[in-house]
Amino acid sequence: MQDTSKVRNIALIGHGNCGKTSLAEAMLFTAGKINRLGKVDDGTSAMDYEDEEISRNISINSSFHNYSWNKHTVYLADTPGDDNFINETNFAAHVCDGVVFTIGAVLGVKGQTIKFADIVKDKNLPTIIAVNKMDRERADFNKTMNEINESLPFTPVVLNVPIGAEENFKGFVDVISGKAFMFDGDKGTLIDADVPAEMIDEVAEYRESLMENVAETDDDLIEKFLEEGELTEEELLAGLRAGVCKGEIAPVCVCAALKNLGTAAVLDFVNAYLPSPTERPQLVGTNTDGDIVERNPGADESFSAQVFKTMADPYAGRLTIFRVYSGVLSGDTFYNSTKGESERFGQLYVLEGKEQKPVGEAGPGMIVAVAKLKDTSTGDTLCDASAPIIYEPMKPLSPVISFAVSAKKGDEEKLFGSITKMLDEDLTLKMTRQQQTKQTLISGMGRTHLEVVGSRIKRKFGVEMELAQPKVPYMETIKGSALVQGKHKKQSGGRGQYGDCWIEISPCPGKGYEFEDKIVGGVIPQQYRPAVDKGIQEAMERGVMAGYPVIDVKIVLVDGSYHNVDSSEMAFKIAGSLAFKKGAQEAGLVLLEPYVNMEIRVGKDHVGDVMGDLNSRRGKVMGMDSDGKSEIINAQVPQSEVLSYATDLTSMTGGLGTFSVEFDHYEEVPAQIAEKIVAEKAMEE
């Protein structure tokens, strides 16, 4: 078994287009794991290999690989940088021990950067910062560092100062050793050089700042630094590593991944500063009785792991991917403590891009996969049956947008079966049936997310998915009361049809539907009265005003008449329906619309814009709060006004705002708007 102290488990995290996948590619190439430097734009990357990723030039899934560098084994997750796929990043961050936080030197810090940085900080993950794309036009290291200092929750300490930028990016100065290194070709190799004279003062300032920041992470170091004004290189390195492992400081290096410049330094940083699995905090879970259990993250402990991803592989079938937290897994069974079931598996695999490499055992820090498990799903804990532990499952983010979904060529059953299979893979995806509108809704993190799901379904299952704006599930109700007659009489030779009923109709708010039989004597025989009730309910379902279901109505059956020969259940059902339609109109029909509760999180700078926008949507702000990082606006808004809110909030806040929605209640639609809705519905029909 490999030495756990020399194992690293890291995720590359950062905003879209900062070059994470290119950096992962360069790291694998420099370490000799792959023999050619693939490119995202050419579709030749080892990490972005799905058709949808190649066609869109973005990461959609977290992908996994591993490499060896200077006697260390590193398990690597390359995560998406797009909000549509942020849950992939969230889950990968949940199971990694450290992060290479990647920032493009041209785009710098964007809204998404802050969002991803908050994920990392919330989990207190040890972090190194790679300022990438230093070779690009308009690359600006100092501007990027200023933005990091101003906007991100990290305390950055610059260890590599770039020599040159754009096409003149040719090396860096190591702040700790005070030596300069120049790039030599595209193999990631470095050659010693003299520190440029114009950089000597700048490097000295960075070294002073580094010592201050490192000293502040440790009481003994701060005491010595205040007394002597200096730390030895040995103290600096030890304090730096300890500070990174505690999540208090983040070393900064520079690179240009596409040209493989500076990649070796990134690999060195991962080995030197990010923790091994055994240096992370103790693992905390519960046993089967719900009692707290703590476990050391070492190889000599009982085996435990957590499933954080499930995916369909065209060759291996359903792959279950998990992170080993403690102990060593070998053999062919483990215990799923979440489900209380033992699972038998075939081969154990390490993931290497789109390939799976068989391995005999797996220890702490390893990300491995098995195929075709029966009962295990994402979030489940796997362990030894003799030492059960259950880790808290990761919570997927709530969907923010919904569309009506249908099959393009009418094969609805095949489509919905395909979506059901995708639900296992993607926990942010939801499918629901909307009873009022008779539509099936698919919900996700954004339109791009759902379009990608559609293209995967087409590729994997051969059925095309169509998205449409969902209909709003309006309702109808009555405001007043009425006493009406419903009479159905038809004679056309032979046996006729006769049904006659009198009903009282009145509102009963919040109670749905009530039917009361107050017939005295036999004016309507007992066997026909349920037919009146049924006819009324069917009429309520079809609606009267605009074809939407009628709710919160009380019906009292008070009188009627029948014919010995011509009366039937059908005749009284029709009579009940006629009575209801007439009575609803006399009682005063109104249209109801669904209101949702919204919790919107934004920065202080955006509160005014968001509040003004909510007012324009007929929203009611119910209160405001703050959690120290964001302002939290609680509001109730008509559902019809927030169908495209995800896109609108992104525009208003530069991608920084987040929100959640849940149904709350129905309210009367203002008369002017109701008239429009009724007219539109009439045109549809």
pLDDT digits 0-9 by tens, 23-60: 999 999 999 998 887 777 666 777 766 666 666 777 77
- What's the rounded mean pLDDT across residues 656-684? 87
Q: How far apart are CA 681 and CA 678, in angstroms?
A: 5
E strand segments, 97-205? 98-104, 127-132, 156-158, 160-163, 171-174, 180-184, 189-193
Query: So what's the pLDDT on residue 1?
Result: 63
Higher pLDDT, 222 or 165: 165
Question: 140 vs 344, 423, 513, 541, CA distance in Å?
Answer: 54, 42, 67, 64
- CATH code, residues 476-587: 3.30.230.10
Query: So what's the pLDDT on residue 55?
Result: 66
Q: What CATH architecture does domain 283-383 belong to?
A: Beta Barrel (2.40)
Query: So what's the pLDDT on residue 356?
Result: 87
Q: What percent of the chain has pLDDT over 70?
A: 96
Q: Is the Cα dihedral 685, 401, 631, 597 positive or negative?
A: positive
Query: So what's the pLDDT on residue 84?
Result: 84
Question: Above 90 in pLDDT, residue 233?
Answer: no
Q: What do you get for the CA distance between the two ends of the chain, in Å?
A: 70
CATH topology of 283-383 equal to that of 476-587? Answer: no
Amino acid found at 12: L
How does the average pLDDT of the chain come out, rounded?
90
- Lowest-confidence region among 4-8, 397-401, 630-634: 397-401
- Structure-token match 């990694």, residue found: 96
Residues 487-524 have pLDDT tens digits of: 999 877 667 899 999 999 999 998 899 999 998 888 99
Of the candidates 61, 65, 66, which has an alpha carbon nearest to the alpha carbon of residue 7?
66
Q: What percent of the chain has pLDDT over 90?
A: 61
- What's the rounded mean pLDDT across residues 167-189? 87
The CATH fold assigned to 401-468 is: Alpha-Beta Plaits (3.30.70)
Question: Above 80 in pLDDT, residue 312?
Answer: no
Q: Are 328 and 303 in contact (CB under 8 A)?
A: yes
Residues 415-454 have pLDDT tens digits of: 888 888 888 888 899 999 887 788 899 999 888 899 889 8
Q: Are 546 and 678 in contact (CB under 8 A)?
A: yes
E strand segments, 445-577? 465-468, 475-478, 482-490, 497-507, 513-517, 553-561
Query: So what's the pLDDT on residue 313?
Result: 63
Q: How far apart are CA 312 and CA 354, in angstroms?
A: 12
Q: Which pLDDT band holds residue 315 (cuts at 50, 70, 90)?
A: low
Q: Are 429 and 443 in contact (CB under 8 A)?
A: yes
Q: Are 363 and 2 in contact (CB under 8 A)?
A: yes
Query: So what's the pLDDT on residue 388?
Result: 94
- Lowest-confidence region among 142-151, 229-238, 511-520: 229-238
Question: Above 70 in pLDDT, residue 202?
Answer: yes
Q: Which pLDDT band holds residue 685 (cuts at 50, 70, 90)?
A: low
Q: How many CA atoms lie within 13 A of 588 on its CB side?
A: 7
Burial label for 76, CB within 10 Å (0-12, 13-18, 19+), is buried
- What's the rounded mean pLDDT across residues 221-231? 81
Find all residues with CB under 8 Å of 438, minimum gap 6, and list them.
Answer: none
Query: So what's the pLDDT on residue 400?
Result: 84
Q: Are 355 and 385 in contact (CB under 8 A)?
A: no
Question: Above 70 in pLDDT, residue 658?
Answer: yes
Amino acid found at 229: G
Q: Are 596 and 665 in contact (CB under 8 A)?
A: no
Question: Above 90 in pLDDT, residue 85?
Answer: no
Please provide the DSSP assignment of 426-468 as one string: -TT-EEEEETTTTEEEEEES-HHHHHHHHHHHHHHHS--EEEE
- CATH code, residues 591-684: 3.30.70.240
Question: Above 90 in pLDDT, residue 180?
Answer: yes
Of the candidates 551, 548, 550, which has an alpha carbon nearest to the alpha carbon of residue 473?
548
- What's the rounded mean pLDDT across residues 616-634? 90
Burial label for 27, CB within 10 Å (0-12, 13-18, 19+), is buried
Query: Which one is the CATH code of 4-278: 3.40.190.10, 3.60.21.10, 3.40.50.10090, 3.40.50.300?
Result: 3.40.50.300
Question: 275 vs 124, 128, 242, CA distance in Å?
Answer: 13, 11, 9
Q: What are phi and psi of 583, to 5 degrees?
A: -65, -40
Q: Give residue limits of the domains in the chain.
A: 4-278, 283-383, 401-468, 476-587, 591-684
